[in-house]
Amino acid sequence: MSKKHSTSQDVAELAGVSQATVSRVFAGGAIVSEKKKKKILEAAEALGYQPNAHARSLITRRTRMIGVVMRNIRNPFYSAVLEIFHNRLSALGYHLIFINSTNEEIQEKEISQLLEYNVEGVIITDALLSSSAALKFKRSEIAVVLFNRYTEQAGSSSVFCDNYLATKQIAAYLVELGHRSFAFISGPSDTSTTLDRLKGFEEVLKERNITDFMIEPGNYTYESGFKSAQELMTKNKHIDCVFCGNDIIALGAMDAIRVIGLRIPEDVSVFGFDNIRMGAWPSYSLTTWEQPVEEMIDGTIEILLNEINDSTAKPKTLMFKGHMVVRNSVKKK
C-alpha cells in the first residue's frame, strides 16, 4: 500500500478552519488568532502533516532558497562564515544551496545549478564573479552580493573589510616595533582582497623608506604558507618579519620557520589576517587582524533580502573596519 500524505485540506477539516487559514499559519507572517493557530498546529501534529515547500513555492513564487558559492572550504575562516550564514538564514526561514566552486571564477555549470533550483539570491565569497555570470543572474532577477571582496564592475553589491586601511595600520605597527626587512606571502593576485592588503602594506614601507620587501605569491592555504616561508627563510635569513595574507598561510609559515630552526618571535615575527580560532592556540599565539565577521554577515543578509524584496533596489557597498589582535608571534626588535 502506498503511504497517504496528509494535505493542508485534511488539516483544515480537522481543525475546523479554511485551507487558506492553514496556509497562512505555515507561511508565517500573517495574522491568525492564537486559538486558531493552536487548533491548526494540533491537527497538523495529529495527522503528521508537513507543508510541501515545493508546492508552496509554486503558489507564492518564492522558493526561499539562497545560493552560497564558496571555493576554499578548507580555510577555517570560510567554514566559520558558512556556519554563521546557515544559522542566520535558517532562523529567517531560508534554505541554503551550497556550491563548492572548484575554480577561482564561478563556472557555467555552477550558475546553471543555481538557476535550476530557482534561488532567490546568491552570496559569493571567495570566488570571482565574471561580467557574463553577473548578467545571467540579473536577467533571471536573482540578487547577488559579494562577501569579503568587491569588483569594479557595476551591478553587484559588496560587503568587505577595509583591507587597505588595515594593512597600513599593520605595517606602521611593525615598523614602529623596529622591523626593517619584510616578506609578504600573498593570496591569489587577481582578488581585491590580496591587492588591497598588498597596496596598504607596501605604501607604508615606501613612506618609511624601507626597500627590503619581498613578495611571495601564495594561495590562502596552509600548504602554500609552509612552502613559501620555507623557500623565503632558507634563502633570506635576514628577514625579520613575515606578513601573511591570511591566518591559515601564517600557521603554515610559522611551522616552516620552526622546522628551519628559527625562533618566533625572537628571530622572525609573523603577522596574520582574519583571527581564525586556531590562531589563538598556544602553539601559535598569532598576532593578527580581526575582521568583524558577524557584522559583515548581517550586512550581507540585509542587503540581499532587500534586493530580493525590491527589484528596483540599487547595488550597495558596505565596508567595515576591523582591529588588531596582539598575541606572541610579533616582538619588538
pLDDT band at 27 (very low <50, low <70, confident <90, very high): low
Q: Is the pLDDT of residue 100 over 90?
A: no
pLDDT of residue 43: 87
Q: How large is the greatest C-alpha to C-alpha distance in the chain, in angstroms?
A: 83
* The listed CATH number (3.30.465.10, 3.40.50.300, 3.30.70.250, 3.40.50.2300) that belongs to domain 163-291: 3.40.50.2300
| Weakest-pLDDT range from 88-92, 100-104, 222-226, 288-292 | 100-104
- Strands annotated E in 34-120: 65-70, 95-100
Which residues, other chains included, contact 235 with Cβ-Cβ below 8 Å and sequence gap of 6+? none
Q: Is the pLDDT of residue 132 over 80?
A: no
- Per residue in 163-185, pLDDT (tens digit) is 999 999 999 999 999 999 999 99
pLDDT of residue 58: 45
Q: Could you tell me which residue, 61 or 282, shows the higher pLDDT?
A: 282
Work out the end-to-end distance of the chain between its first and last CA atoms, rounded to an integer number of angstroms.
79
pLDDT of residue 197: 95
* CATH of segment(s) 8-51: 1.10.260.40
Mean pLDDT of the chain: 88
317-331 burial by CB neighbour count: b if 16+ within 10 A, else e?
ebeeebeeeebebbb
pLDDT of residue 26: 75
| Weakest-pLDDT range from 106-115, 222-231, 244-253, 279-288 | 106-115
Q: Do 8-51 and 163-291 show the same overall fold?
A: no
The residue extents of the domains of the chain are 8-51, 65-160+293-320, 163-291
pLDDT band at 30 (very low <50, low <70, confident <90, very high): low
Mean pLDDT across 259-281 = 97
Which residues, other chains included, contact 162 with Cβ-Cβ below 8 Å and sequence gap of 6+? 196, 319, 320, 321, 322
pLDDT band at 60 (very low <50, low <70, confident <90, very high): very low
Q: Could you tell me which residue, 283 or 139, shows the higher pLDDT?
A: 283
pLDDT band at 265 (very low <50, low <70, confident <90, very high): very high
Mean pLDDT across 24-37 = 76
Mean pLDDT across 112-120 = 85
- Per residue in 195-208, pLDDT (tens digit) is 999 999 999 999 99
Vertex 44 angle, CA 15 and 86, to 5°: 140
Mean pLDDT across 259-264 = 96
Mean pLDDT across 205-221 = 93
Q: Is the pLDDT of residue 45 over 90?
A: no
Assigned CATH class of 65-160+293-320: alpha beta
Place of cell 581585491: 192
Of 11-15, 64-68, 182-186, 219-223, highest mean pLDDT: 182-186
Of 27-31, 186-190, 218-222, 302-306, highest mean pLDDT: 302-306
